[in-house]
A and B are shown apart, each in its own frame.
Chain A
């Protein structure tokens, strides 16, 4: 059929005949980008007709048309067949029918409803079982991966020539040197905050000089290692999970395995090794800047000169305080690297899964750090360090 060159808008007239037949006449120019009639009008006509009716769709003065017309007719057909009525499209031009015929008639709504699982109630026992199963699966994954990591590190120590030193140094640069500005800034600000809080309280008792004790002990034992670890969780742990997750997605990890390379040796060992070495160094750096921050506040707010601050610091902080912080930071480094690599290696094969792996790595890392810190505090107090 030759299209009529008209620019009248798309229209659909619905008329009910005496014999229970509903006539739908489409006409005008149909374009996806134009205003279009709604198929729902048919519903009220069907309701009014009471009982199964026949719906005849035909065309009159039809201009140009595209998928919008087909979509309209398909929507009408869906509404009509769902109501149990018959839809007759023989009155449409052959070209339109040819396109419509390509789409199979929608399945009956009852069958469609039973195939959607979202509304099926799931029993509590089943949910509990599935939850337990998932947790056991994760636990199994952890024990397996932890074992692999320990083996990989043992191989680094026993056979250092086989370790990928280039990768290791590159990772050290990325998680160590590149993190210096942000770790420094945050540690200094934490030192400033703590000194401020302490100064306001201590000044009331004339115990100004003890601000050095408070800042020193808090920074060396707790805040230095902790702030460095938390910054690295967000910065490096997340990056590990995203990098490795993407490699899983791109089948790069599969490719390693088929070459007989252990993915843990190739991907995890350099990262784990780098963070184990870098985290204590970053902790010392964070200690230093935290103390500097505290010292600046002490001088500015309490008029304590830097030499006085430092001599007080030396009496308050023992070498053991520095060591406890360093021991913690090594463990924190292991936790950050482990959670990043673990989540990355277990990421699913879609971009959403890689995002979930990254989030999971950060949550797991921070949670692990806080729990480990609490355990250390208890252990050190028992040991008397």
Chain B
């Protein structure tokens, strides 16, 4: 699907750009001087061991927490420090799939998707329902419009969460640990779905995960965070990093999982 061409900054700008971002809780600095830029249409992984600040970084990127220093830009426009109105407008342009799906439990799947459409678009009820049907069909949940989140399995909840994240045709979608709590087959299905979303819609995808299976199967690029360094340890194509990284720890981290991933 072609991205909307109206009132957007230069199309050549990176989808997401971090420069010198510092994430801190009070005095405690978790990450410092994190900089990278993600080109449009890339499937970009933020990885690293437990406790390295992956999820913290995600929270700072999507605006749930405020970076202590540095800036976050979406498609060339500054997100950090923008006035609340502009921030809200930008937030409607990206989708987030939370770890548990975070569906609103008192609403049906269709209503979950229709709510953002009702808030931010001029679609009438029939068209909103049509968008909901479209999004659910895109994630393989056609016919589940009237079901409640409590009636779904873990994998279905994530699919439904993705359908909701895609409701407003975002140009960039963030995933927080998409494979957490999923069996290998559901996890692979979700990976396929993520790649298809990118191929079909041209959406930029940013995934926080340490699942090496997913990183090697769909990742275009990987940024590895390190707890001791409090920042980016390595940045590049996953296979390149595994084979040619200057750090032995990076090669080991990626190849051990790689072997495991190759097992049947």
**B1 pairs with A95, CB closer than 8 A:** yes
Q: How far is the CB of A97 from chain B (nearest CB, A)?
A: 12
Q: How far is the CB of B191 from chain A (nearest CB, A)?
A: 19
List the one stretch of B133-141, B207-215, B233-241 in contact with chain A. Answer: B133-141
Residue A161 interfacial (CB < 8 Å): no
Residue B3 contacts which of A40, A64, A71, A104 (CB distance < 8 angstroms)?
A64
Given A32-B123, A33-B121, A36-B127, check contact A350 B150 (CB 8 Å). Answer: yes
B3 nearest in chain A by CB position: A64
In angstroms, Cα B128 to Cα A78, docked, is 13
**B1 pairs with A99, CB closer than 8 A:** yes
Which residues 90-140 in B have Cβ within 8 Å of A in the complex? 105-106, 117, 120-124, 126-128, 130-131, 133-135, 137-138
**A64 pairs with B126, CB closer than 8 A:** no
A30 nearest in chain B by CB position: B4
In angstroms, Cα B123 to Cα A40, docked, is 12
In angstroms, Cα B120 to Cα A31, docked, is 11
Chain B residues whose CB sits within 8 angstroms of the CB of A67 once the complex forms: 1, 131, 134-135, 169
Residue A140 interfacial (CB < 8 Å): no
Residue A39 contacts which of B127, B134, B138 (CB distance < 8 angstroms)?
B127
Residue B143 interfacial (CB < 8 Å): yes
Chain A residues whose CB sits within 8 angstroms of the CB of B137 once the complex forms: 102-104
In angstroms, Cα B137 to Cα A95, docked, is 16
A69 nearest in chain B by CB position: B1
In angstroms, Cα B162 to Cα A273, docked, is 47
In angstroms, Cα B170 to Cα A33, docked, is 12
Q: How far is the CB of A142 from chain B (nearest CB, A)?
A: 26
**A66 pairs with B1, CB closer than 8 A:** yes
Residue A38 interfacial (CB < 8 Å): yes
Given A70-B130, A350-B150, A352-B106, check contact A32 B5 (CB 8 Å). Answer: no
Q: How far is the CB of B192 from chain A (nearest CB, A)?
A: 14
**A35 pairs with B1, CB closer than 8 A:** no
**A33 pairs with B120, CB closer than 8 A:** yes
Chain B residues whose CB sits within 8 angstroms of the CB of A5 once the complex forms: 5
**A350 pairs with B127, CB closer than 8 A:** no
Chain A residues whose CB sits within 8 angstroms of the CB of B153 once the complex forms: none
**B127 pairs with A64, CB closer than 8 A:** no
The proximity string for B residues 17-58 relative to A, scoring 1 for CB distances below 8 Å and 0 otherwise, is 000000000000000000000000000000000000000000
Interface residues on A, range: 35 or more
Given A31-B4, A32-B117, A34-B122, check contact A71 B127 (CB 8 Å). Answer: yes
In angstroms, Cα B3 to Cα A66, docked, is 7
**B120 pairs with A351, CB closer than 8 A:** no
**A64 pairs with B6, CB closer than 8 A:** yes
B106 nearest in chain A by CB position: A352
In angstroms, Cα B2 to Cα A149, docked, is 64
**A71 pairs with B122, CB closer than 8 A:** no
Given A70-B131, A102-B134, A104-B142, check contact A35 B6 (CB 8 Å). Answer: no
In angstroms, Cα B4 to Cα A129, docked, is 57
Q: How far is the CB of B40 from chain A (nearest CB, A)?
A: 15
**B121 pairs with A68, CB closer than 8 A:** yes
Residue B173 interfacial (CB < 8 Å): no
Which residues 169-213 in A have Cβ within 8 Å of B in the complex? none
In angstroms, Cα B6 to Cα A70, docked, is 18
Q: How far is the CB of A157 from chain B (nearest CB, A)?
A: 40
Which residues 1-31 in A have Cβ within 8 Å of B in the complex? 3, 5, 7, 29, 31
Residue A75 interfacial (CB < 8 Å): yes
Given A71-B127, A104-B143, check contact A35 B5 (CB 8 Å). Answer: no
In angstroms, Cα B200 to Cα A98, docked, is 9
In angstroms, Cα B149 to Cα A351, docked, is 11
Q: How far is the CB of A57 from chain B (nearest CB, A)?
A: 14
Chain A residues whose CB sits within 8 angstroms of the CB of B6 once the complex forms: 7, 29, 31, 34, 64
**A351 pairs with B105, CB closer than 8 A:** yes
Chain A residues whose CB sits within 8 angstroms of the CB of B143 once the complex forms: 104
In angstroms, Cα B122 to Cα A34, docked, is 7
Residue A331 interfacial (CB < 8 Å): no
In angstroms, Cα B124 to Cα A271, docked, is 51
In angstroms, Cα B8 to Cα A64, docked, is 13
Chain B residues whose CB sits within 8 angstroms of the CB of A35 once the complex forms: 122
Residue A65 interfacial (CB < 8 Å): yes
The proximity string for A residues 81-107 relative to B, scoring 1 for CB distances below 8 Å and 0 otherwise, is 000000000000001001100111010
Given A99-B134, A104-B143, check contact A71 B5 (CB 8 Å). Answer: no
Chain A residues whose CB sits within 8 angstroms of the CB of B4 once the complex forms: 29, 31, 33, 64, 66
Residue B168 interfacial (CB < 8 Å): yes
**B105 pairs with A71, CB closer than 8 A:** no
Given A65-B2, A75-B126, A99-B1, check contact A32 B133 (CB 8 Å). Answer: no
Chain B residues whose CB sits within 8 angstroms of the CB of A72 once the complex forms: 127, 130
A33 nearest in chain B by CB position: B121
Residue A63 interfacial (CB < 8 Å): yes
Which 9 pairs of residues, A with B, have the shortest CB-CB distance? A74-B130, A71-B130, A71-B127, A66-B169, A103-B137, A71-B131, A64-B5, A32-B121, A102-B137
Given contacts A31-B4, A32-B123, A71-B131, 14 further A-B pairs with CB under 8 A are: A3-B2, A29-B5, A66-B1, A67-B169, A71-B128, A72-B130, A74-B133, A75-B130, A78-B130, A103-B130, A103-B142, A104-B143, A350-B105, A350-B106
29 A-B residue pairs with Cβ-Cβ distance under 8 Å, sorted by A, are A29-B6, A32-B120, A32-B121, A32-B169, A33-B4, A33-B121, A34-B122, A64-B5, A64-B6, A65-B1, A66-B2, A67-B134, A70-B130, A70-B134, A71-B128, A71-B130, A71-B131, A71-B134, A75-B126, A75-B127, A78-B126, A102-B138, A103-B133, A103-B134, A103-B137, A104-B137, A104-B142, A106-B133, A352-B106
